[in-house]
């Protein structure tokens, strides 16, 4: 009984050397022959096989471990490693559901490999630090995670404690892993030394995606206040503005703009504020701000301001004013998007021939499914179904969506090609 207990608590000792791994293998086999094997016995064998590269045999052992005990959290973690991250994630999450002193391994693995999903990974990261396990494995993962999440100072502070625990726990951490950790700390430290502002911005991105917006915004403005690099400052502004605008949080975007404009009259900030007003349907404020900007600031607004005023008037259905500003924009910028909007405004005012010319001009600069769709729809309204069909097919070559298939169905119905029309409507339903 005592022998079995000792083996059950030496899961990682085979990391000391290949010979020690073999010793552990034979010792575990003796436990099996004695009839005292538990779920952990087979999990330990699976880990040894995995370390030596015998993955098929490792899977066999870990599955036997789980058959013996479906609540063996460490066995789920082992199986997760064997499956690889994409397939293994569900096993790591299962280990977390069960809960054990091994949770931190799954948490750390998930946190490192889910950094594209910052919100989720920061949750794992936080839960990992709440574990506060006292062994060397925990300290090792804590240091490694701190490197991944740009807390280099905290990782360095863990090194003396880690070395002390490694000595006390008989080389619990393999030498190769220590090499990885030390290299990660040195490399990340060098990056932070050379690119301190970029690292701070990266930390802010993590915080933003984790929902800690106030902390992240303050951090970025702190970078801006200390930076003397104009490009870095602009990138930080755009980072914040894009984050809120892309998530349709237009009021927060306006708040950030106001904070930026207290510091300086940054051209890009005006653009985001105007577009946020438009998205919030506060058109009067958008137009007023555009006119104020144009009258009071010496910036080349032909690049964007005329276009945005045109879009604002278009959203207000004031097509005459929209056309005036789109034409002014097109004179200095042959912008296919402005030509597309111009065509829509002309179409709405029943100037079909002029609208077709605007659409064709837009296509000369850039093939666009929306433009082909508008042409097809215009020909359909003019009862020219063959031209409509030709253009909707061009649109479908670029984008297969329900709008295109529905319009194609309408065109085919008008051409009395009912069977083909039904097939198009069916495809449209599947895409909605």
Give one DSSP letter per residue of 167-210, joined into a string. HHTTS-S-HHHHHHHHHHHHHHHHHHHH-HHHHHHHHHHHHHHT
Give the count of domains, the chain.
1
Banded pLDDT at 2 (limits 50, 70, 90): very low
- 269 within a domain of the structure (yes/no): no
CA distance 218 to 204: 9
Q: 71: domain range?
A: 1-83
Q: Residue 16's pLDDT is what?
A: 39
Q: Is residue 396 part of a domain?
A: no
Is 253 domain-assigned? no
CA distance 108 to 131: 11
Q: Assess if residue 75 is contained within a domain.
A: yes
Q: Please tell me the predicted confidence (pLDDT) of residue 9.
A: 36
Q: How high is the mean pLDDT of the chain?
A: 81
Q: Does any domain span residue 47? A: yes
Instruction: At 245, give phi and psi (nearest 5°).
Output: -65, -45
For residue range 275-291, list pLDDT tens digits in order.
888 888 888 888 888 77
Answer whether residue 37 is part of any domain. Answer: yes
In this prediction, residue 13 has a pLDDT band, given cuts at 50, 70 and 90, of very low
Question: pLDDT (tens digit, 9 = 90+) per residue, 132-191?
Answer: 777 777 888 888 888 877 777 888 888 888 878 776 765 555 566 777 788 878 877 776
**21 in a structural domain:** yes
The CATH number of whichever domain residue 38 belongs to comes to: 1.25.40.10
Counts of helices then strands in the chain (DSSP H, E): 25, 0
Is the confidence at residue 5, as pLDDT, over 50? no
Task: Look at residue 358 in the predicted model and tell me its pLDDT.
Answer: 92
CA 265 – CA 186 distance, rounded (Å):
40
Residue 318 contacts by C-beta under 8 Å, 6 or more apart in sequence?
none
Task: Examine residue 353 and state whether it is found in any structural domain, yes or no.
Answer: no
How confident is the model at residue 4, as a pLDDT? 29
Q: With cut-offs at 50, 70 and 90, classify the pLDDT of residue 413.
A: very high
Whole-number pLDDT of residue 403: 87
């Amino acid at each position: 009984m005592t022998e079995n207990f000792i083996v059950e608590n030496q899961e990682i000792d085979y990391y000391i050397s290949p010979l020690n791994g073999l010793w552990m293998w034979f010792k575990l086999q003796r436990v099996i022959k004695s009839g005292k094997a538990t779920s952990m016995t087979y999990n330990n064998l699976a880990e040894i096989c995995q370390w030596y590269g015998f993955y098929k045999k490792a899977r066999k052992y870990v599955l036997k471990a789980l058959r013996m005990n479906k609540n063996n959290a460490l066995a789920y973690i082992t199986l997760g490693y064997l499956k690889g991250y994409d397939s293994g994630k569900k096993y790591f999450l299962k280990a977390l559901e069960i809960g054990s002193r091994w949770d931190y391994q799954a948490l750390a693995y998930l946190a490192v490999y889910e950094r594209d999903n910052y919100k989720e990974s920061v949750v794992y990261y936080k839960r990992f630090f709440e574990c506060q396990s006292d062994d060397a494995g925990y300290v090792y993962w804590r240091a490694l995670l701190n490197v991944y999440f740009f807390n280099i100072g905290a990782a360095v502070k863990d090194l003396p404690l880690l070395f002390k625990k490694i000595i006390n726990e008989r080389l619990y951490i393999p030498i190769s892993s220590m090499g990885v950790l030390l290299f990660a700390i040195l490399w990340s430290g060098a990056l932070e030394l050379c690119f301190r502002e970029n690292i701070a911005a990266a930390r802010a991105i993590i915080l933003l995606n984790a929902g800690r917006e106030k902390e992240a915004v303050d951090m970025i403005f702190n970078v801006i206040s200390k930076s003397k690099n104009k490009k870095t400052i602009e990138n930080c502004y755009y980072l914040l503005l894009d984050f809120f605008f892309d998530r349709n949080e237009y009021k927060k975007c306006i708040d950030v703009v106001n904070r930026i404009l207290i510091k300086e009259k940054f051209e890009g900030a005006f653009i985001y504020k105007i577009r946020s007003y438009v998205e919030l349907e506060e058109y009067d404020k958008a137009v007023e701000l555009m006119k104020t900007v144009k009258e009071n600031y010496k910036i080349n607004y032909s690049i964007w301001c005329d276009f945005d005023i045109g879009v604002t008037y278009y959203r207000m259905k004031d097509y005459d004013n929209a056309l005036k500003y789109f034409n002014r924009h097109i004179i200095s910028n042959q912008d296919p998007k402005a030509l597309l909007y111009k065509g829509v405004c002309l179409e709405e005012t029943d100037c079909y021939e002029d609208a077709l010319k605007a659409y064709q001009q837009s296509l000369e600069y850039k093939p666009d499914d929306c433009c082909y769709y508008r042409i097809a729809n215009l020909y359909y309204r003019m009862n020219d179904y063959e031209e409509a069909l030709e253009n909707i097919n061009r649109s479908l070559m670029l984008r297969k969506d329900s709008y295109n298939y529905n319009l194609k169905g309408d065109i085919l119905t008008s051409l009395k090609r009912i069977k083909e029309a039904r097939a198009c409507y069916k495809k449209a339903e599947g895409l909605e």
